[in-house]
Chain A
């Protein structure tokens, strides 16, 4: 019982990767950057008061589930989505769908996925993966962040799909129901870019969008006075992890989004999008530079090679350049 026709492609990010893989199986040749951009995946938020394992929450992407939902809606693809009360019912429903040859996307907790290395297994409940068959009592898994396919025992998959915490996946699964004859990429790309600019620039609160970059810069400046060296180092480390660890494609999704702008520019034959792409690539390099110096500060906690002040300045420059870029992108005449 396996959809032998399913082809696994490795991607940077789990959600845009699963979206691209499921759509490709239906004959829609969409790249990961395209799925990410149409779904308006790029974002920034910093929540000093929401502590995730003791450190303030930082994210470089939009909330889980949004990319997948927006991308499929904008392309006019009909999806089936379902949650379950019990693992038994969830596994049964999954078996029924893969028996028809359809690959199924689902939410899981990375902590309960034995095929991942221990270094990446923590209680993160919004990891997306595809199950595309069952062989010898094991599910065949296409995890977009891996180079190759993997297998998982039904008990383990059930644990991962019914993990507790926030958000609770409750067995959430989804698959493509029907695909339209004609897809209007132009409209979808425009809608995605407009939404991205709106979310980056419009939130009136300091914790969301571009404003939050400046908030984080301000906070980092205060770390040496407010925190012990150990805490300050862990706080910084968390920002670097969110920016660079598994699944961002580098520079906190900035490179992934720049790749989208480039592809969109080619598709719509617009030079301005290509230029925005080149600009964002440079801003991505600035973010990498920030991470590089943050890591040096972490490594030698008393080092004065780069101070927290300088680090804060590096970050503010990223914020200013992005405010300018998204501001001009918002004014594009379509």
Chain B
């Protein structure tokens, strides 16, 4: 890649335009030099697509919580970009326990302690956790 071919396609989502990263390219004499880039369309499409997938799945889960099929823990886990194994590690539970807490009937009976643990991991208040979807 030549220095004048380094793309400058702005990333216009999720504050992505705040970063100009360093790329390596060759000048007219074939000498390598560092040059900053605002982004590249090919890579922006890939990144945007990954975030869109996250948002789509999150919206589906939000609906399920509102319909009473899943507990708010499932929603906030996805919102924090986590999966069951990682969340289980953060709250210090087994994976099957976390999966059980996805059931609204089980969630409603969780102790204040356990709810506080989840809320802390999601960086929200216990009230926000309990009231989501209601």
Which residues of A are interface residues toward B (Cβ below 8 A)?
10-12, 32-33, 53, 111, 116-120, 122-123, 145-147, 164-165, 230, 233-234, 236-238, 240-241, 243-247, 249-251, 255-256, 258-259, 262-263, 277-278, 281, 284-285, 288, 291-292, 294-295, 298-299
**Taking the nearest CB of chain A, how far is it from the CB of B97, in angstroms?**
16
Given contacts A164-B86, A237-B46, contact A122 B81 (CB under 8 A): yes
**B106 on the A face (CB < 8 A):** no
Which residues of B are interface residues toward A (Cβ below 8 A)?
1, 6, 11, 13-26, 30-32, 34, 36, 40-43, 45-47, 49-51, 53, 81-83, 86, 89-90
A246 to B53, Cβ gap below 8 A? Answer: no
Contact of B1 among A33, A117, A262, A288 (CB under 8 A): A288
| Contact sample, A vs B, 18 pairs, CB 8 Å cutoff | A12-B23, A53-B81, A117-B14, A119-B11, A146-B19, A164-B86, A240-B42, A240-B43, A241-B50, A245-B43, A245-B46, A246-B21, A247-B21, A250-B25, A251-B1, A255-B32, A292-B42, A299-B45
Contact of B82 among A123, A259, A277 (CB under 8 A): A123
Given the complex of chains A and B, what is the CA–CA distance between A185 and B22 in angstroms? 25
B81 to A281, Cβ gap below 8 A? Answer: no
Given the complex of chains A and B, what is the CA–CA distance between A291 and B90 in angstroms? 36
B46 to A295, Cβ gap below 8 A? Answer: yes
Given the complex of chains A and B, what is the CA–CA distance between A299 and B89 in angstroms? 36
Given the complex of chains A and B, what is the CA–CA distance between A212 and B119 in angstroms? 42
B49 to A145, Cβ gap below 8 A? Answer: no
A244 to B40, Cβ gap below 8 A? Answer: yes
Given the complex of chains A and B, what is the CA–CA distance between A53 and B57 in angstroms? 12
Q: Which residues in B have their C-beta under 8 angstroms from that of A11? A: 22, 34
Given the complex of chains A and B, what is the CA–CA distance between A10 and B82 in angstroms? 30
Q: Which residues in A have their C-beta under 8 angstroms from that of B46? A: 236-238, 240-241, 244-245, 294-295, 298
Given contacts A12-B34, A247-B21, A259-B32, contact A281 B43 (CB under 8 A): no
Given contacts A262-B31, A262-B32, A295-B42, contact A119 B47 (CB under 8 A): yes
A237 to B32, Cβ gap below 8 A? Answer: no
**Taking the nearest CB of chain B, how far is it from the CB of A299, in angstroms?**
6
B42 to A294, Cβ gap below 8 A? Answer: yes
- Which residue on B lies nearest to A51, using beta carbons? B83
**Taking the nearest CB of chain B, how far is it from the CB of A124, in angstroms?**
10
- Which residue on B lies nearest to A233, using beta carbons? B49
CB-based closest 3 A-B pairs: A117-B15, A295-B42, A119-B16
Number of A-B contacts (CB under 8 A): 125
- Beyond contacts A146-B19, A291-B43: 18 other A-B pairs, Cβ-Cβ < 8 A, are A12-B23, A12-B34, A116-B19, A117-B19, A119-B13, A119-B16, A120-B19, A123-B86, A233-B49, A244-B46, A245-B43, A245-B46, A249-B22, A249-B24, A250-B23, A259-B32, A292-B42, A298-B49
**Taking the nearest CB of chain A, how far is it from the CB of B48, in angstroms?**
9
- Which residue on B lies nearest to A230, using beta carbons? B53
Given the complex of chains A and B, what is the CA–CA distance between A241 and B39 in angstroms? 12
A255 to B50, Cβ gap below 8 A? Answer: no
Contact of B16 among A120, A146, A230 (CB under 8 A): A120
Contact of B25 among A33, A255, A295 (CB under 8 A): A255
B14 to A118, Cβ gap below 8 A? Answer: yes
B45 to A237, Cβ gap below 8 A? Answer: yes
- Which residue on B lies nearest to A262, using beta carbons? B32
Given the complex of chains A and B, what is the CA–CA distance between A117 and B81 in angstroms? 15
Given the complex of chains A and B, what is the CA–CA distance between A288 and B1 in angstroms? 9
Contact of B24 among A111, A116, A244, A256 (CB under 8 A): A256
Q: Which residues in B have their C-beta under 8 angstroms from that of A238? A: 46, 50
**Taking the nearest CB of chain A, how far is it from the CB of B70, in angstroms?**
18
Most buried by A among B32, B47, B83, B89: B32
A250 to B1, Cβ gap below 8 A? Answer: yes
Given contacts A241-B46, A244-B42, A244-B46, contact A249 B90 (CB under 8 A): no
B1 to A281, Cβ gap below 8 A? Answer: yes
Given contacts A233-B49, A245-B47, contact A33 B24 (CB under 8 A): yes
